């Protein structure tokens, strides 16, 4: 990839990240405005929730094997609606990959497809504690919500060492002039649904740590740029066009290299997914804008005034 193309892709990724943050901020402000008007100001509370962990994916290039886990990071904040229910706002950076060569299933290594992708994600989640932390130091919880994420699959093993965007090539015929496969086109910025749970340990009234798992249900089968169950025939590519020539090379990477028209490329019946395992730090903050918080001893209606023999205020 030349420097000009690299700059263009970097600018595009930055623009998509800004778009995700703007959409998340808009929904966050609306959500807090609606909820804040119906909740006693003494029951409001904000926390900072940074997280670190690992990410992985499920899809066509993770056939009967688990790809290597990759680092994942999250910056977030939460808003207490009640002591047991809260809204969470997160922005995450992670990556995933898959490689047919590592699959133990017969025939899959010969398909020889592979990919990698960075993922940027903004999400709004609702979290519910299953136990009341007035009486339990370890608190299991569940959460769910919606997110906006951006991805861009690249080859894990570039041909001739030249990195490319598989989406921009149209490896399943999306960009052929005939328009025959135009329905296979996919967007790099999409919505997802998060479902997860975890266990939180209350270290003090203001600090806690949690371990959680978060599964993202996607509405695309192209996170790994593989979906169609068949390959594009060699005669359909215009190899005099450098882009189509490269797309043809990435469409069929099977071994032996002689094209096999009967070979299966992917499974369009199953959508892709990605997931994370994270260690989260929660730091509660005084809400100076909303008044006394529910954990303050000075608040006569707050949590600190509740009779709890296990805690001293």
Q: Measured between alpha carbons, how far is 78 from 282 in angstroms, rounded to an integer?
A: 9
On the question of pLDDT at 129 being above 90, the answer is: yes
More confident residue, 290 or 117: 117
Does residue 271 come out as left (phi exceeding 0), alpha (psi in the -120 to 50 range) or beta?
A: beta
On the question of pLDDT at 264 being above 50, the answer is: yes
Position 78 scores a pLDDT of 97
Position 289 scores a pLDDT of 45
Q: Which helix (H) or strand (E) holds 143?
A: strand 138-151
Domain positions in the chain = 3-161+185-230+262-305
What confidence tens digit (pLDDT) does each residue in 137-187 have?
A: 999 999 999 999 999 999 999 999 999 999 999 999 999 999 999 999 999
Closest CA to 273 of 208, 237, 219, 213: 219
On the question of pLDDT at 40 being above 80, the answer is: no
Coil vs helix vs strand at 158: coil
pLDDT-wise least confident of 132-136, 156-160, 198-202, 268-272 = 132-136
pLDDT band at 4 (very low <50, low <70, confident <90, very high): very low
Kindly list the distances between the CA atom of residue 104 and the CA atoms of 14, 110, 280, in Å, as whole numbers in the listed order. 38, 11, 34
Please give the model's pTM, rounded to 2 decimal places: 0.80
On the question of pLDDT at 293 being above 60, the answer is: no
Position 313 scores a pLDDT of 42
Kindly list the distances between the CA atom of residue 266 and the CA atoms of 68, 93, 106, 180, 263, in Å, as whole numbers in the listed order. 21, 27, 15, 18, 10
What confidence tens digit (pLDDT) does each residue in 52-106 have?
A: 999 999 999 999 999 999 999 999 999 999 999 999 999 999 999 999 999 999 9
Instruction: Specify the CATH architecture of the domain 3-161+185-230+262-305.
Output: Beta Barrel (2.40)
Structure tokens at 102: 């590592």
């Amino acid at each position: 990839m030349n420097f000009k193309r690299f700059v263009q892709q970097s600018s595009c990724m930055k623009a998509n990240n800004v778009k995700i943050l703007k959409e998340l901020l808009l929904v966050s402000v609306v959500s807090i405005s609606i909820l804040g008007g119906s909740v006693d100001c003494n029951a409001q509370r904000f926390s900072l929730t940074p997280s670190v962990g690992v990410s992985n994916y499920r899809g066509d290039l993770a056939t009967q094997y688990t790809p290597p886990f990759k680092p994942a990071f999250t910056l977030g904040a939460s808003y207490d609606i009640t002591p047991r229910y809260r809204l969470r706002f997160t922005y995450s950076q992670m990556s995933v990959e898959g490689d047919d060569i590592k699959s133990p299933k017969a025939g899959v290594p010969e398909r020889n497809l592979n990919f990698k992708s960075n993922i940027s994600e903004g999400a709004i989640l609702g979290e519910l504690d299953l136990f009341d932390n007035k009486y339990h130091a370890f608190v299991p919880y569940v959460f769910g919500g919606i997110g906006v994420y951006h991805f861009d699959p690249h080859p894990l093993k570039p041909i001739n060492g030249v990195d490319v965007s598989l989406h921009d090539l149209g490896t399943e015929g999306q960009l052929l002039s005939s328009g025959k496969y135009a329905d296979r086109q996919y967007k790099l910025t999409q919505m997802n649904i998060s479902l997860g749970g975890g266990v939180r340990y209350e270290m003090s009234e203001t600090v806690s740590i949690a371990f959680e798992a978060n599964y993202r249900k996607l509405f695309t089968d192209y996170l790994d740029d593989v979906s169609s169950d068949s390959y594009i025939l060699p005669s359909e590519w215009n190899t005099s066009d450098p882009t189509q020539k490269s797309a043809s090379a990435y469409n069929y990477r099977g071994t032996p290299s002689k094209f096999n028209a009967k070979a299966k490329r992917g499974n369009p019946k199953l959508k892709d997914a990605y997931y994370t395992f994270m260690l989260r730090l929660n730091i509660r903050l005084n809400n100076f804008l909303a008044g006394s918080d529910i954990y303050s001893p000075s608040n006569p209606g707050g949590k600190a005034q509740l009779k709890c023999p296990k805690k001293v205020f």
